Chain A
Amino acid sequence: MQMPEPNAAVIARKARIVEMLEAALPGGIIHDEAEVRAYECDALTAYRCPPLAVALPSSTEQVSALLKICHDEGVPVVPRGAGTSLAGGSLPTADSLILGVARMAEVLETDYDNRFIRVQTGRTNLSVTGAVAEDGFFYAPDPSSQLACAIAGNIAMNSGGAHCLKYGVTTNNLMGVTLVLMDGTVVELGGAHLDAGGLDLLGVICGSEGQLGVVTEATLRILHQPEGARPVLIGYDSNEVAGACVSDIIKAGVLPVAIEFMDRPCIRATDAFSGAGYPDCEALLIVEVEGSDAEIDEQLQKITAIARRHNPVELREATDADEAARIWLGRKSAFGAMGSINDYMCLDGTIPVNELPYVLKRISEMSKEFGLEVANVFHAGDGNMHPLILFNANEAGQLELCEDLGAEILKLCVEVGGCLTGEHGVGVEKRDLMHHQYAPQDLEAQMLIKDVFDPKWLLNPAKVFPLDASNARRTAMLAAE
C-alpha cells in the first residue's frame, strides 16, 4: 500500500514543533523515537509507521491549542481513539502528530429524564453503558471491540454492532458533539434536542474518519434496557435456505435485535475452538429477540414457525440463561477461533439481504480460485458481511494474495448493490477501492466537504480518498506552506 512521502520540512523542524506543543501541553507530548513506536499502528497491524510525536490532551481547550499550532506549522494530525481500527484509520505518517483522546474519558452529564449521557470521547464504548447500567440504561451501538474501542473512534467510523438491526448505528444514537476544527475553532453541534435547525453537520461529522475535526465531547442517546432477551439457534443444510429464512423473518414483521449468520467453515472452527456444541451444517442462524418472557415467547413462536417451514436440520431454543450463553458462545469466539487457526483478514462489505445466497456462492468459488480459505460470519439482518480470509503472514506473498482476494470480494459487494464497508470505515485499507464504489464527481463532492472543514488537508490526510483523487489538493497544500 502506498502512502505519500512525508513532509521533510516538518520532520526537519521536529525539535521546534515539539517545543511548541510542549508549551501548550506540558508533560503530555511523547516524542522519543522508542516511545512513539507504541503508536505506530492500530488494529490493522500489517501497516506501521512511527509518528513524529504523540499528544495526549485532557481537555477540549488543550486539543484546540494543539491543533492551532499544527495548523499554523503545517503539521499533519492523525486523531486516535483507542487504536482499534481494522481499517488503519489511525495509521500515522512520519510527519504527523498523533492526537490521542485516551486521557479524556470523563462522564460529563447523565440525564435519565431526557435520556442522554454526555461524555468525553476517549471513554470506551462499554464503559458508557457501564456508567448507566446500574440505573437500568444502556448505550445501544455495540461493536465487537466495545471493551476497548473509544467513542471518538465510534463517531469517526460510524460504528455499528450486532444489535443495530433494531437500534441503529452510531449516527442514529449520536445527538451532539463538541468538535475542534484544524485551526483550533471549537464548534458545538446538536445537543440534548433532536434534529438540526439548519444543515445536518452532525450527520456529516459522524463517519468522517477524523478528517473534518477532532470530536472531544459527545451527547449520546441512552435507552432503558429491555426486560430480557433470548436467542434461538437454527441450522440449515444450505446457505440459500438460510438466506430465505432471514428474508421471511424480516418480511413477517418480526424485528429481532440480532440475526447472526455463520457458514460451515466458521461453524466448524468456532465449535472446535469453543465447544459450543453447534450442529455440523452448512449455515447457522442465531436470532435474538427482546422483551418480557411472554413477548419473547410470542416472537420466538413466529420465528420458529417460519424457520420450520424451511426444514431446519437443527432448531434450538434457549430455555435459560445458560443455554442462551451457549448459543452465543461460538459466535462470540468466532474471531478468536479464526486467529487460533491462522492469520486472517476481516472484511466488512454490505450487500442487499436478498443477494446473500449468490454472494456466498461466489465467495466460495473465489476462495477456491485463490487457494485461500474464507469463513463467513456476519450480521445477516442488515446484510453486513464479515468474510474472514485465512492466510499465513509468514509465507511470502500470502498477505498480498489475501488482499487481492479481499478486494475482489469487496468489488462483488459493490456489484450486487452493496458497499465496501458497513461499519469498519475506509481508512487506508479500502482507500484505493473507492473508485469502484464512487465516480470521480461523487468523490469530488465528498472532498469539497473536506475543503470546507480542513482547507489545508492536514487532518488524517492520506485516508478515505484514493491518493490519485486527493493528490492535487494535498500537493497544493504543501506548495502553499
Chain B
Amino acid sequence: MRPGSEAELAEMVRDATGGLRVRGGGTRPVGSGAGEVLDTTGLSGIHLYEPGALTVVAGAGTPLSEIERRLDAEGQRLAFEPMDHRGLLGTSGDSTIGGVVAANVSGPRRIQAGACRDFLLGVRFVDGQGTVIKNGGRVMKNVTGYDLVKLMAGSRGTLGVLSEVSLKVLPKPEAAATILFDGLDDAQAVRAMARGLGSPFDVTGAAHLPEGPEGHPVTLLRVEGFSGSVDYRADTMAKLFGALPVRVERDPVRVAQLWTDIRDVTSMKGANGDVWRISCKPSDAPALVEALDPTSHIFDWGGGLIWALMPEGTDARTRLGMIDGHATRVRGAGTTPVFPPESAPVAALTRAIRQRFDPRGILNPGSFH
C-alpha cells in the first residue's frame, strides 16, 4: 500500500482488515510485527519553508536528504542531528522525515540543542481508525491544548501514521572545532566531559571512543558558532583541563567526519554481535560498562548514551540490573524484547493510550514489545 495523499492514507487505514507495517524509507525498521507494508513515501514534498521563521513543514514521506538539501541552501539545518542508521543496521534506501520523527532520532547535539521531539512543532496523522488528526502547528511557542506532538515523536507508528510534520530549524554555524583528549579511561573521560558540559562554553557534543580512529582512547568535545567565538571557546576550554594534554581540531571537514562517525556509530558497522543503546545518567556510564562487559562500546551525550556491541543473544538488561534509564536492542535478534520493560503504571497507561488511538491494534503490531 502506498497512499499518494493524506485522504488516501486515511481511507486505506480505515479499510484495513489486518495489521499494517508502517514504513518510510526502510532504513530503520520501526515495526517488527507482521502485516502489510504501508509505504509513506508517496506523502512527499516540502509544503512550506520559511527561513526567517526557522520553520519547515513537509509530508512525512519526504526524504530527509531532500529536506537537508533545501535547508543547506539557506544556511540552515536540523539541529538535532538525526543519525543515519544504514551503516549500523546494514539497510539501504532513503530515510524519510516521518521515520526520523516516528523513531525520535537524534544525534550528538541532543545533549545541547535537544532531541527530534524538541524541534517538532506540529503533526498531522491518521489514527488507527482512519481519522485525520492534527496537533501543534508551525510556531515555536504553543501550549494550546495537550502536547500530542511529543507523544507522536518516538511512538513508532503505534498511535497513528504521520502524514505531515513541521519542524523548527536552526542556522548552520559558521565554524566548529573539537577538543580531543588522548588516552583517558572511561571514568576519566566521563569526568572530562562533565567538566566541558558544565562550563559556560556551550559544548554541542561530548563523546568518548575507547578505541579512537588511531587505535587509542580519544575523548571529544565540540563547540560551534561564529569563528571568533569558536576559537575563543576552544582555547579557553583547553586551558580548563590544566595538565591534561589536549589537541584542537579546527579543520571543518575533519570535525564533521569525527561527529558523523560518532552519530552513526561507525565503529560498530559490520562488526559481529548485537548492538545495544543505553540511555543513562552520564556519571553511571563507566560502572554500567563494567557490568555489561561489552565487546566494544562508545559514549555519546557525555556518557548519557552508551552504544554497546555485545555477543549475539546477550541480554544486556540482565547485566545492567536496575538503572536510571533504559536499554534498547538496536540490532540483533533473540528472545529478549527489543524495547525496555516499563513500570506497571507506565505500561498500563501506554497500553490504554494505544488502545484508544488504535482500538483494532493494527498499527505496527508488535512494536514496543
Q: Which residues of A contact B (CB under 8 A)?
A: 111-115, 136-137, 157-158, 160, 164-165, 168-169, 171-172, 181, 185-189, 191-204, 206-208, 224-227, 247-248, 250-255, 291-292, 294-295, 298-299, 302, 350-354, 379, 382-384, 417-426, 430, 434, 437-439, 441-443, 445-446, 448-453, 464
**B171 contacts A by Cβ under 8 Å:** yes
Q: A158-B147, A194-B111, A200-B117 are in contact. Are A253 and B172 (CB under 8 A)?
A: yes
- Which of the segments B83-91, B209-217, B349-357 contacts the partner chain? B349-357
Count of A-B contacts judged by CB separation below 8 Å = 267
The one of B74, B150, B198, B279 in contact with A204, judged by C-beta atoms closer than 8 angstroms, is B150
Known: A113-B194, A350-B140. A451 touches B356 (CB 8 A): yes
Question: Are A185 and B345 in contact (CB-based, < 8 A)?
Answer: yes
* Per-residue A-contact encoding for B171-192, CB less than 8 Å = 1, 0 else: 1111000000000000000010
Determine the chain A residues whose CB is within 8 A of the CB of B170 once the complex forms.
255
| CB-contacts of B125-160 with A (<8 A) | 127, 131-135, 137-151, 153-155, 158-159
Scoring B residues 113 to 130 as 1 if CB is less than 8 Å from chain A, else 0, what string do you get?
011011000000001000
* A-B CB contact pairs (8 Å), 5 listed: A115-B194, A193-B281, A195-B106, A208-B147, A417-B139
Q: A203-B153, A438-B145 are in contact. Are A195 and B197 (CB under 8 A)?
A: no
Give Cα A295 to B340, complex, Å: 44
Cα of A43 to Cα of B357 in the assembled complex, Å: 36
* CB contact between B151 and one of A199, A294, A430 (< 8 Å): that residue: A199
B242, CB-defined interface residue at 8 Å: no
The reply to whether B356 and A452 contact each other, CB–CB distance below 8 Å, is yes
Please give 7 more A-B residue pairs, beta carbons under 8 A apart, in addition to A113-B194, A198-B340, A449-B146.
Answer: A115-B197, A187-B346, A199-B154, A295-B232, A352-B53, A419-B137, A422-B142
Chain A residues near B148: list those with CB within 8 A: 204, 445-446, 449
A421 partner residues in chain B, CB cutoff 8 A: 142-144
Residues of A close to B151: CB separation below 8 A: 199-201, 203-204, 449
- Of B243-251, B259-267, B320-328, the segment with at least 4 beta carbons within 8 Å of chain A is B320-328
* In contact, B350 and A199 (Cβ under 8 angstroms): yes
Residue of chain A at shortest CB distance from B342? A198
Closest 10 CB pairs of A and B: A203-B150, A197-B326, A253-B171, A247-B52, A193-B325, A422-B141, A192-B281, A197-B340, A382-B140, A448-B356
Q: From A136, which residue of chain B is reached at the shortest CB distance?
A: B200
Contact A418 B139 (CB under 8 A): yes
CA distance A160 to B140 in the complex (A): 11
CA distance A468 to B118 in the complex (A): 32
> Given A200-B151, A203-B117, A449-B353, A352 and B226 touching (CB < 8 A)?
no
Q: Is the CB of A198 within 8 A of B339?
A: yes
Q: In the bound complex, what is the Cα–Cα distance between A324 and B41 (angstroms)?
A: 52
Does B110 interact with chain A (Cβ within 8 Å)?
yes
B343 within 8 A of A: yes
Across the interface, B198 reaches (CB within 8 A) one of A113, A226, A255, A453, namely: A113
> Given A112-B198, A295-B228, A354-B52, is A164 in contact with B141 using a C-beta cutoff of 8 Å?
yes
A200 touches B326 (CB 8 A): no
Residues on the B chain within 8 Å of A189, using CB: 346
Name the contact of A353 in the complex, choosing from B52, B143, B197, B324 (C-beta under 8 A): B52
B51 at the interface (CB under 8 A from A): yes
Given known contacts A225-B200, A383-B140, A247 and B53 CB-to-CB distance under 8 angstroms: yes
Residues of A within 8 A of B140 (CB): 164-165, 350, 382-384
Contact call B147/A114, Cβ cutoff below 8 A: no
Taking A157-B143, A253-B75, A445-B133 as contacts, is the C-beta distance between A294 and B281 under 8 angstroms?
A: no
Cα–Cα distance between A376 and B226 once the two chains are bound (Å): 33
Contact A441 B131 (CB under 8 A): yes
| Minimum CB distance partner of B191 in chain A | A113
Q: Which of B144, B172, B191 contacts A434, CB < 8 Å?
A: B144
- Residues of B near any A CB (own CB < 8 A): 50-55, 74-75, 104, 106, 110-111, 114-115, 117-118, 127, 131-135, 137-151, 153-155, 158-159, 170-174, 191, 194, 197-200, 202, 225-226, 228-229, 232-233, 236, 279-283, 301, 304-305, 324-326, 328, 339-340, 342-343, 345-346, 349-350, 352-353, 356-357, 368
Q: B53 — which chain A residues lie within 8 A by C-beta? A: 247, 250, 352-354, 383
Let me know if A224 and B154 touch, CB within 8 A: no
Specify which of A171, A248, A352 is in contact with B139 (CB 8 Å cutoff): A352
Residue pair B279, A442 in contact (C-beta under 8 Å): no
B175 to chain A, nearest CB (A): 11
Closest to B125 in A: A445
Q: Which residues of A contact B142 (CB under 8 A)?
A: 350, 419, 421-422
Chain B residues within 8 Å of A171, by CB: 118, 147, 150
**Docked complex Cα distance between A137 and B224 (Å):** 21
Taking CB atoms, residues of chain B closer than 8 Å to A172 are 114, 118
Across the interface, do A160 and B154 meet the contact criterion of CB distance under 8 Å? no
The closest CB in chain B to the CB of A226 belongs to B200
Report A-chain residues with C-beta under 8 Å of the C-beta of B342. 197-198
A349 to B149, CA, bound (A): 19
Pairwise interchain contact B345-A187, C-beta atoms closer than 8 A: yes
Q: A199 vs B55: C-alpha distance in the bound complex, in angstroms?
A: 25
Q: Are B301 and A194 in contact (CB under 8 A)?
A: yes
User: In the complex the two chains form, what is the Cα distance from A441 to B131 in whole Å?
Assistant: 8
**Structural contact, B145 and A187, CB atoms closer than 8 A:** no
A442 to B136, CA, bound (A): 10
> Chain B residues with Cβ under 8 A from A157's Cβ?
143
Residues of chain A within 8 A (CB-CB) of B345 are 181, 185-187
The docked-state distance in angstroms from the alpha carbon of A250 to that of B279 is 33
Q: From residue B15, how far is it (CB to closest CB) to chain A in Å?
A: 18
* A200 near B139: Cβ-Cβ < 8 Å: no
Question: B343 contacts A255, CB within 8 Å?
Answer: no
In the bound assembly, the distance between CA atoms of A70 and B104 in angstroms comes to 37
> Are B173 and A464 interface neighbours, CB within 8 A?
no
CB proximity of A345 to chain B, nearest CB, Å: 18
Are the CB atoms of B324 and A192 closer together than 8 Å? yes
What A residues does B52 contact at CB under 8 A?
247-248, 250-251, 353-354
B110 to chain A, nearest CB (A): 7
Residues in chain A near residue B233, CB distance under 8 A = 295
Cα(A448)–Cα(B160), bound, Å: 14
Are B340 and A426 in contact, CB atoms less than 8 angstroms apart? no
CA of A421 to CA of B139, assembled, Å: 11
> Hey, which chain A residues are within 8 Å of B141, CB to CB?
160, 164, 169, 350, 379, 382-384, 422-423
Alpha-carbon distance A382/B346, docked complex (angstroms): 34
Give CA–CA (A424, B137) in the complex, Å.
17
Could you tell me the distance between the alpha carbons of A420 and B317 in the complex, rounded to whole angstroms?
Answer: 45
Asked if B349 and A453 make an inter-chain contact with CB atoms under 8 angstroms apart, the answer reads yes
Contact residues in A for B145 (Cβ distance below 8 Å): 426, 434, 437-438, 442-443, 446, 464
Expressed in whole angstroms, the minimum distance between the Cβ of B103 and any Cβ of chain A is 11
Contact A445 to B118, CB < 8 A, known contacts A191-B325, A353-B52? no
Report how far A132 CA is from B139 CA in the complex, Å.
Answer: 32
Check B147–A442 contact: CB distance below 8 A.
no
A150 → chain B closest CB, angstroms: 17
Least Cβ–Cβ distance between A456 and chain B, in angstroms: 14
What CA separation (Å) do A449 and B171 show in the bound complex? 35
